[in-house]
Amino acid sequence: MNTKTWFITGTSTGLGRLMTEQLLARGDNVIATLRKPGALDDLLERYSKQLHVLLLDITDTAAIRRVVQQAFDHAGHIDVLVSNAGYGLFGAAEEVTDGQIARQIATNLTGSIQLIRTVLPCLRQQGGGRIIQVSSEGGQMAWPNFSLYHATKWDIEGFIESVAQEVAPFGIDFLIAEPGPTATNFASGLDIAPPMACYENTPAGEVRRGLADGSIAINGDAVKTVAAIVAAADAENPPFRLALGSKAYHSVREALNGRLQVLEATRAVALSADKEA
């Protein structure tokens, strides 16, 4: 297999860190971005010729443009962009603050959009490339208490559905990775809204208690999840979407079947809304 160059955001912890480790270990080159310096110093010592680290806050559009240019200037050619940086906001829609909403959208949605928009002309000029968006099972289904998180994941998937059609003629393709609950630091890093007592005995309260007491299973293996994403990215024709983990597979399947049933049940009404021939 030919050596590849990857550009990965959000590499200080979690899936981004693991992906960086796996790619470096197999001999690939990685341009890794993170918000705070130092998190990859151990990897820099071991892989000084393969790893290039840049600081980036994904909510800063001007910084995105500057860092993407630095990455292409450094590498010359980038094979795979991995849009991984993000975070989770936890709380019922009524509980979350305006500031939390703004941060959630700026990080998971606007940041990902601006990153992709910025890299597209670079990929066009080099004759193509692959973009991986790390989304979630939450881009296809929804849990109570994650409404703002789901809003960003559903939105970024819709954005990519459209952009993928726009840039396919330039040899640019996409892979949307949709992990289910995975053993990373995601849960511990949740931005949690102040709870309101009125939601205690509602589905939102049930999910809050489930996360707190561990009754909501987190059965995804982070190492296997990253390996599956990398393997899909290596494929000549990867799937457009890739659910990862049994929980993600079953949750997404149930959600899609449910939406299809609703659509079919309203078929007659839908067709009746056409103009008369």
Per 3-state DSSP, the chain is made up of helix, strand and coil in percentages (nearest 5) of 50, 15, 35
What is the rounded distance in angstroms from the CA atom of residue 225 to the CA atom of residue 228?
5
Q: Which of 87-91, 145-149, 155-159, 215-219 has the lowest mean pLDDT?
A: 215-219
Residue 185 clears pLDDT 70, i.e. is over it? no
Contact between residue 140 and residue 152 where contact means Cβ atoms under 8 Å apart: no
Q: What letter represents residue 221's amino acid?
A: D
Average pLDDT over residues 154-182: 96
| Nearest of 90, 135, 117 to residue 252 by alpha carbon | 135
Residue 221 carries which DSSP code?
Answer: -
For residues 180, 87, 46 and 131, what is the CA-based torsion angle, rounded to 10 degrees?
Answer: 70
Residue 253 clears pLDDT 90, i.e. is over it? yes
Chain segment 87-97, per-residue pLDDT in tens: 899 999 999 99
Q: What letter represents residue 276's amino acid?
A: E
Domains of the chain, earliest start first? 5-272 (3.40.50.720)
| Nearest of 111, 80, 68 to residue 173 by alpha carbon | 80
- Cα-based distances in Å from 195 to 4, 90, 167, 201, 239: 46, 10, 43, 12, 39
Residue 155 clears pLDDT 80, i.e. is over it? yes
Chain segment 61-87, per-residue pLDDT in tens: 999 999 999 999 999 999 999 999 998
Please say if 224 is a catalytic residue: no
Beta bridge partners of 54: 33
| Nearest of 128, 271, 74, 97 to residue 192 by alpha carbon | 97
Q: What letter represents residue 93's amino acid?
A: A
Give pLDDT, residue 182. Answer: 75
Total-model pTM: 0.94
Contact between residue 13 and residue 184 where contact means Cβ atoms under 8 Å apart: yes
Q: Which of 147, 153, 199, 247 is catalytic?
A: 153
Give pLDDT, residue 212. Answer: 81
**Burial degree of 134 (CB within 10 A; 0-12, 13-18, 19+):** buried
For residues 230, 176, 95 and 102, what is the CA-based torsion angle, rounded to 10 degrees?
Answer: 100
What is the rounded distance in angstroms from the CA atom of residue 212 to the CA atom of residue 225?
24
Q: Which of 135, 136, 147, 251 is catalytic?
A: 135
Q: Distance between the two ends of the chain, CA-based, in angstroms? A: 57
Give pLDDT, residue 210. Answer: 87
Element holding 173 (H helix, E strand): strand 172-179
Q: Which of 12, 112, 149, 199 is catalytic?
A: 149
> What is the chain's mean pLDDT, rounded?
94
Please say if 249 is a catalytic residue: no
Beta bridge partners of 244: 179
Which pLDDT band holds residue 188 (cuts at 50, 70, 90)? low
Give pLDDT, residue 217. Answer: 72
Give pLDDT, residue 219. Answer: 82
